[in-house]
Amino acid sequence: MTPDLARIDDPTCVAENRLPPHADHRWFASAREAAGGVSSFEQRLSGTWRVQVAENPDAVVPGCEQPGTDRSGWDEIEVPGHLQLQGHHRPQYVNVQYPWDGHETLEPGRAPRRSNPVATYVRTFTLDRPLAPGERVSVVFEGAESAVLVWVNGTWVGYGTDTFTPSEFDVTDALVDGENTLAARVVTWTAGSWIEDQDFFRFSGLFRDVVLRRRPAVHAEDVRVTTRVADGLDRATVRVRVRLTGEGSVTAVLDGVGPLAVHGDGDLVVEVTDPRLWSAEDPYLYDLHLEVRDAAGAVTEHVPLRVGVRRFGIEDGVLRINGRRLVLTGVNRHEFGLRGRVVTREETEADLRFMKRVGINAVRTSHYPNNGFFYDLCDEYGLYVVDEMNLESHAMWDRLLRRGLPPEEALPGDRPEWLPTLLARAAAMLERDKNHPSVVMWSCGNESYGGTDVLAVADWFRSVDDRPVHYEGVHWDPRYPSTTDVVSTMYTPAAEVEAFLADHRDRPVILCEYAHAMGNSFGAVGRYLDLAYRDPLFQGGFIWDLADQALPLTDRHGVPFFGYGGDFGDVPHDADFSGNGLLFADHTPKPFVQEVRYLYQPYRVALVDEGGRPALRVENRHLVTPSSAHACVVTLAREGVVLDEQPLETAVAPGTTGTVPLPLALPDEPGEYTVDASFRLREATRWAPAGHEVAHEQAVVVVPQVTAPERARVTGAAPAPEVVDGIHNVGVHGPGFSALFSRLHGGLLSYRYGPGTATGGGRELVASVPRPSFWHAPTSNERGWGGPAEDGQWLLAGRYPRLVPDVPQPEVVPDEGGVALTFRYLLPTAPTSTCDVTYRVDGTGRVEVTQVVRPGEGLPDMPELGMLLTTDPALHHLRWYGEGPEECYVDRRAGARLDVHTRDVRTALTPYLRPQEAGSRTGVRWAEVTDDAGTGIRLEHVGDPGPTGGMELSVLPWTPDEIESATHPNELPPVHRTVLRPALMRRGVGGDNSWGARTHPEFLLPRGQELTFRFAFRGV
């Protein structure tokens, strides 16, 4: 038959001639072959194919799939791969919008006709050996977006939908001796695309492997492994059910345990005494070996399986793994890399190693089943997986909300014509992934509202498996609460979760998405973890998400950058909303991974007084791992200089807290000290080398002066500076420095430091008049809640301050050992604000700056309060004593460490997809910005400790205005200056969500009150 492309408009047409789904086990000719990992029953067809791409279904050349077609003019294409990244059509990033929205008017279930690329792939192959008697051959398309039609040697084979699970077809009867021609026609948009509206780039093509599989005459078509662990955890039962084709038998052996016996129902069963239980902390896997024999007793295949013996479920009202309450320190993960959704096993393994290194213990496969090897790796590395089926109809749900439509308008909702495809997708996922111990929950999909269709999926999951079922949509459509076994919401603030739990104690609560990590974000996330360890019913959540979705591009000047929505000529699009990962698009970590690592770490440590002696209180959050499993080292330091370091032996049982004497003496000499406790791997693991730090805590100890030093003692015996009060300028001069304050320009015009300043020499360290700074380049989160419009007055205030008229400027007041010069500004806000900036210069050239701001009544909070100074771009070495080493903000500094850190200013602006406020440091006591020779400028915090124990400091190659004007990092201008922005505080970055959630109030600068900021600088 010749298939009709009209099937793409029919949501009930799920598949034709597709084989039933089955477990993802592999089979080998022998145990020896299995040990080598290469199966003679498999023949991979990945590689170079020929392809012809039509603009839409009507433009497909009839008969082009036939063997005799002249394909000399066809293009070559790599499989796996996306059409759009190999010269055909274009990538398109949309979040909620359907890609065709605004281009065609379509009823739900109808596929676009104008622009809907259809690719006909063709390649030839020859079987690597003749077929044995009774042997069958299938072709498996592991991923075809979004539907595939298949021919072999011109014979129609079948049709399959569902982009993210395999479509497998028996092709035995269509094969010929010698060369065979395989044709696969892949349609970009089908009826099924209406429920594949995930927040991701839209591609099409054969993006996962294509494999030929042989099935011997007697074959284990499906294998199901289940484990049951006794309440006492001292015994377990491993049960194996095998569905055979042909007449034969199966035997099985579990390594270290023994052979499995045939149970009365035909299953193979073995009892395990004192089982080693699988968990994220100890992902132990037993090796199970099945041998399949034909009726004559000859071995037809060997099936190796890895079995994790574990018990997971809702027990006593909470999620438990092997009887212990679990906190999910999770992350969502799109399969995405530099080649889009074409992701290798090696790349996936690198992602998992990263997760384990930073304390992530759970992954949600947002929002579709992943490549099969992902689950193998999660089994081996130890990660809890919420396996999510391929369902999202976000745009239709959005339509309900925007138009106020009734729930009956939802898709799939209560529409019976959509139920077959949902059940097919659920079965394809579950049957493939059922044997993986890492899979602990089945998810019915994402952001598709509610209805009887999704309820039927949940009920089907429960009818065939005992794992809990997850679905967040019940939160929006509560008509069928039994759709989900856990209460699941997205981006709910921690305070609201806690308020909900005060009245709802019937089910565990998780956040399937939280801490939307878009741009410079991830603020105040610690509140969620505090709640998870305070209330047993809140069991954690999944950060959104693992890595930025962005693709490598090169601009017209040959400069590489990462492209997001709209950079490919794609419309509609959702711009940089795809940039919300813990990792950049190249899968290197972002600065706030420093915070993730701390919040997700398995130990909490505090310095306490124990009977008059210092001690460490250690909380062990592991479920099965004692603290003695990790080496602990305690370090005492002062301003980056290690004074003492000692090992500490701990023996705190999992889930308990213990106190251990501090193995070193605290000093009594006045000063500021740090005590660091570091827990490290004693031995190498698959995911990190020996010595890798799994947890870190720091205490700051201040030994005060007996009496406060007088200023005279600070300034020493240096003579007072010379003050030259001129017509337009006031000069302040001393040995090795010269400062010039301009009445015309309203501030410090020049600051020279070094030998020869008295005769015009020395080095100029101020490239422009310092000005008050109340603004920074808006972050993604600030744009999301409309910050630029609300904060605009503070942009004008910092950019266009003017001197108060009719007042002598500056006011010059000599004092003992120095002179103070004050400039008074009016700030163009409505109502007007005022700002005084006083420079006190002493005889050593030290300049102490005091900034006093009086906001106009009713003005919003400032994005920041500080000063902006520019200097020579040759000063690009930053060294500071403060929090770091990565950028940190007032609501994202728990993972930072007080120490002496260094950074090259030229790379200090974090390369978020869209440039924005970034690169600042908190708790800065002092900092030096120098050139290659070590000369430059030193800044010091003065006065009260401030919100973070010091000032905040940004040192970048660009001003906030330049950063804000660039839409990609490659658009930033050539470097002409080094920009210093010491500040009392910057607004916290926030991050509950990126479309309206503001920074928590306690991380904002106070409104409507006088604020003072003091710092000092001098040349070095």
Q: Which residues are catalytic?
A: 447, 513
**CB–CB of 3/159 below 8 Å?**
yes
**Could you tell me which of 89, 34, 537 has the C-alpha nearest to residue 319?**
537
- What one-character DSSP code corresponds to residue 777? P
CB 330 within 8 A of CB 364: yes
Q: How far from chain centre, in Å, is Cα 370?
A: 17
Q: Which amino acid type is present at position 254?
A: L
DSSP for 630-649 reads EEEEEEEEETTEEEEEEEE-
Render 77-145 in DSSP notation, one character per residue. Answer: EEES--GGGTTSS--EEESSS-TTTTT----TTPPPSSS--EEEEEEEEE-SSPPPTT-EEEEEES-EE
- Within 10 angstroms of residue 297's Cβ, the number of other Cβ atoms is 8
Interhelix angle 372-381/345-357, rounded to 10 degrees, is 30
Angle separating helix axes 419-433 and 452-464, nearest 10 degrees: 30
Angstrom CA distances, 884 to 887, 949, 971, stand at 6, 13, 27
Instruction: Tell me the C-alpha distance between 977 and 956, whole Å.
Output: 9
- Whose structure tokens read 């997986």? 385
Nearest residue to 310 via CA among 257, 382, 253, 261: 382
Whole-number Å distance between alpha carbons of 307 and 450: 35
SS3 state at 487: strand
Phi first, then psi: give them for residue 72, nearest 5 degrees. Answer: -65, -25
In angstroms, the Cα distances linking 761 to 756, 839, 842 are 4, 22, 20
* Whether 105 contacts 181, CB under 8 Å: no
In three-state secondary structure terms, 456 is: helix
Long-range contacts of 702-706 (CB under 8 A, 24+ apart): 702/671, 702/672, 702/673, 703/667, 703/668, 703/669, 703/670, 703/671, 703/672, 703/673, 704/670, 705/670, 706/670
409: left (phi over 0), alpha (psi -120 to 50) or beta: alpha
d(CA 797, CA 868): 13
Give alpha helix (H) positions in 540-591. none
For residue 528, give the nearest of 489, 572, 473 by alpha carbon. Answer: 489
225 touches 305 (CB < 8 A)? yes
CA distance 837 to 825: 8
Contact 172, 131 (CB under 8 A): yes
